[in-house]
Structure 1
Amino acid sequence: MRVGVPIFLFLAAAGFHTALTASLESAEKEDTFVGLEQLSDLQKRDQEEFEAAQMSEEENDTQEEDMTDRDGNVEADQHESESDEDVDGMRQKREHLEANVEEADETTNLAEVE
């Protein structure tokens, strides 16, 4: 019986040590898992913020392109307006010249008739 007590105590201490080690490893894994979960949440948030920033940047680029297009359209409209004015001026000159030619023809016809 004297030999049994030390063996029993040794086995009890070894079991306690094994249980304690397993418990600590389990707690460490849980901490690691919680840490990874928190890290994952942070990464998700960062990714969402990054995507939102990209979308905002694309919208800004699109707005700038729209403004550039509008500016180009305004310039084109001004150019067309100037072209229309030129066409109107040329049309008036042509009509004036045609009227002068008709008058000249009438004058010529009158001179021939007399």
Structure 2
Amino acid sequence: MRVGVPIFLFLAAAGFHTALTASLESAEKEDTFGEEVGLEQLSNLQKRDQEEFEAAQMSEAVQDENTEEENDTLEEGMNRDGNVEADQHESESDEDVDCMRQKREHLEANVEEADETTNLAEVE
């Protein structure tokens, strides 16, 4: 009996040590996996933010172009004929503004479609 107790204690300590080591290795693997998944998600978020930023820049550039075109159109309208009645000038300006507005809406729709396409591509 005296010989059995130390052997039992030794086997119990060895088993406890093995179980503790396996548990620590498992926890370490889970931490590493969590970090890899976190980095992948962060990368996807950065890509999405970059695409949204580029789309906003494109939209802003389109608006700047439309503003410049409106200004050029208005200047041309004023320089064409100084004797044109005010009503005719206003109706031409309204038509130009409507035309520019339609162009802007069309370009914005194209930018939104590009964004949706990009988002769908990311999801897949």
The two structures have a TM-score, normalised by structure 2, of 0.33
| CA apart distance, 1:20 | 167
SS in 2 for 1:73: coil
- Relative to structure 1, the CA distance from residue 106 to residue 20 in structure 2 (aligned partners, 3 Å threshold; closer, same or farther) is closer
- Relative to structure 1, the CA distance from residue 80 to residue 111 in structure 2 (aligned partners, 3 Å threshold; closer, same or farther) is same
- Relative to structure 1, the CA distance from residue 80 to residue 13 in structure 2 (aligned partners, 3 Å threshold; closer, same or farther) is same
SS in 2 for 1:95: helix
Q: Which moved more, 1:36-45 or 1:95-104?
A: 36-45
Q: What is the match of residue 93 of structure 2?
A: 83
- Relative to structure 1, the CA distance from residue 87 to residue 113 in structure 2 (aligned partners, 3 Å threshold; closer, same or farther) is same
Q: Distance in 1 between matches of 2:109 and 2:93?
A: 24
* Gap runs ≥5 in structure 2: 60-67
Q: Distance in 2 between matches of 1:32 and 1:4?
A: 42
- Relative to structure 1, the CA distance from residue 38 to residue 15 in structure 2 (aligned partners, 3 Å threshold; closer, same or farther) is farther
| CA apart distance, 1:82 | 0.2
| CA apart distance, 1:30 | 139
Q: Flag the structure with larger Rg.
A: 1
Name the count of aligned residue pairs. Answer: 113
Q: Distance in 2 between matches of 1:93 and 1:13?
A: 79
Deviations 1:62-110 (Å, cap 9, x if unpaired)?
Answer: 999999x999997111000000000000000000001000000000000
Percent same amino acid among aligned pairs?
96
Q: Distance in 1 between matches of 2:123 and 2:107?
A: 24
Structure 1's consecutive aligned runs of 4 or more residues displaced over 2 angstroms after TM superposition are: 1-67, 69-74
Q: Which moved more, 1:3-12 or 1:77-86?
A: 3-12
- Relative to structure 1, the CA distance from residue 80 to residue 18 in structure 2 (aligned partners, 3 Å threshold; closer, same or farther) is same
* Gap runs ≥5 in structure 1: none
- Relative to structure 1, the CA distance from residue 51 to residue 8 in structure 2 (aligned partners, 3 Å threshold; closer, same or farther) is farther
- Relative to structure 1, the CA distance from residue 76 to residue 96 in structure 2 (aligned partners, 3 Å threshold; closer, same or farther) is same
- Relative to structure 1, the CA distance from residue 78 to residue 36 in structure 2 (aligned partners, 3 Å threshold; closer, same or farther) is same
Q: Distance in 2 between matches of 1:26 and 1:113?
A: 31
SS in 2 for 1:58: helix
Q: Distance in 1 between matches of 2:15 and 2:121?
A: 140
Q: Which moved more, 1:34-43 or 1:11-20?
A: 11-20
